[in-house]
Amino acid sequence: MPKLSDLVAYCDRRTRRAAFKDSPGAFNGLQMANSGRVTKIGAAVDAGLAPFQQAVAAGVDFLIVHHGMFWDMPRPLTGPVYERVAMLVRGNCALYSNHLPLDSHPQIGNNALLARQLGLTARRGFLPNEGGPIGRIAPSRLPRAALRAKLEKLYPRVTAIECGSAAPRAIAFCSGNGASAVPVLLAEGVDTLVTGELREDVFNRAQEEKLNLYLCGHYATEVHAVKALAAELAAKFGLPWEFIATDNPL
C-alpha cells in the first residue's frame, strides 16, 4: 500500500511546488495528513465541507484540490471550519492543495489543458512568476466563431465579449480569474483570451482595446489540472481515483 509521504513527494516534484510564489493563504502542499497510507485518490477544485463529505463517502483518503482551505486563516476551529477539519479527520482523508503551480504546468496545468481541449498547443507563457509563467498562449487558426462554438460545446455557460479580430492568430489562456491577464494582452501580441471570470468594468476595456474575451466559469476552467494530476498519480502508484464534482456554477 503506497505511503502518504511518497504521494506528496511526487506531487511536489511534478508541480515544482516550492518554486512558485503564491498567496500566503494558498499554502500549497499537504494541508492535512492521514494515518500515513493511501488506498484511493480524489480530485476536487475546492476545499469545503460538501466535497470533503463526498470524498469520504467515496472512500478517498488522499484528496487533491486546487483551492485549499487556508485562504482566510487563522480562524477559530468552530462552526463550518471545525466541520471541514472534523470530516477529514473522521474520514482519515489527507488533503493536498496546489494552486498556481497547477495553473502554470506546461503539460498538466489548467492553461495548457484549456488550449489542448481546443486542439491547440500552448507554445509560450505569460504572466511571469518565480516558478514560471502562469498563463499560456497558443497560436491559432480558429476563426472567432469556431472558437466560440467549441467553447459552448465544452462549457455550460460561456459569456462572449467579441470586440477583437474575427480571425485571431493566437489565443491566451488564464484559468479562474483573468483580471491579471487582460491588461497585458496587447503587449503580448494577443487580442483574444479564454478565462473563467472577470469584473464588470472589463467590458469597457474590451471595447476600447478591441479584445475578444470568453468567460467560461472560474470553477469550470479549473477542473482540468487536478484531474490530470490525480490520474497520473493513480497510474504511478497503482491506485483508483475519482473526481469529486460539486457543480459549482461560478
- Delineate the domains of the chain, giving CATH numbers in brackets: 4-98+223-241 (3.40.1390.30), 104-219 (3.40.1390.30)
Residue 170: per-residue pLDDT:
98
What sections of the chain are H helices per DSSP?
4-15, 49-57, 79-90, 100-104, 110-116, 144-154, 202-209, 224-237
pLDDT band per the 50, 70, 90 thresholds, residue 1:
confident
Closest Cα partner for 115 from 180, 193, 228, 215?
193
**Mean pLDDT of all residues in 74-98:** 95
What percent of the chain stands above pLDDT 70? 100
* Predicted TM-score (pTM) of this structure: 0.96
Q: How far apart are the first and last CA of the chain?
A: 38
Rg value, the chain, Cα: 19
pLDDT band per the 50, 70, 90 thresholds, residue 247:
confident
